[in-house]
Amino acid sequence: MLKKEDVLFVDGYNMIGAWPELAALKREKLEDARDRLLDLLADYQSYAGLSIVVVFDAFRVPGLGAVYRHHRMQVVYTREKETADECIERLVGDWTSVRRNLYVATSDLVEQHVAFGRGALRLSARELHQEVAQSRKSIDSVISKEPPPKKNPLGGVLSGEIQRRLEQMRRGWKDKD
């Protein structure tokens, strides 16, 4: 399990191609697959308490690229003629620190080796998918639990006389004793 101060770099299109749900969405509309990936990772980020940077390859798109926030995640579209792999390598080099672990989530074997050489730990698309699915199960189990019945926790501890007097005070009744 990743820790709070850890940073996870995700090759966005690599995950879309590797996760069955996202691959199916991609066949219909790529934008829907990207949005779903970002939503899943946002939930995972909140659950795990780590920082996530999702990188999308804009290699053939002219321009300087873009960086924006999405549910407290950083989303990066690479600049022209820069692949997601190159961008992740650059970011790993910029973020390297002894105070936190850096992870790179990709199933690209070459990218895994390069990231490891730069000090990041590797996480395959399958492993991240399992982590996200497990966090979703944990979140769902917490949400689905019925709230405990409301009761007076002092009721079993206080004597009947003290309970009666407190109830009189609560209702504003005068003591008839």
Task: Tell me the per-residue pLDDT of 139-169, one tens digit each, with 9 for 90 and over.
Answer: 888 777 766 666 666 666 778 888 888 888 8
Identify the three-state secondary structure at position 170. Answer: helix
**Torsion over CA: 100, 104, 109, 113 (sign):** negative
Read off the pLDDT of residues 70-88 as tens digits, 9 standing for 90 and up.
Answer: 888 999 999 888 888 888 8
Quote the pTM value.
Answer: 0.74
DSSP 20-75: HHHHHHHHH-HHHHHHHHHHHHHHHHHHHT-EEEEEE--TTS-SS-EEEEETTEEE
- Domain ranges in the chain are 7-144
CATH 3.40.50 applies to domain 7-144: yes
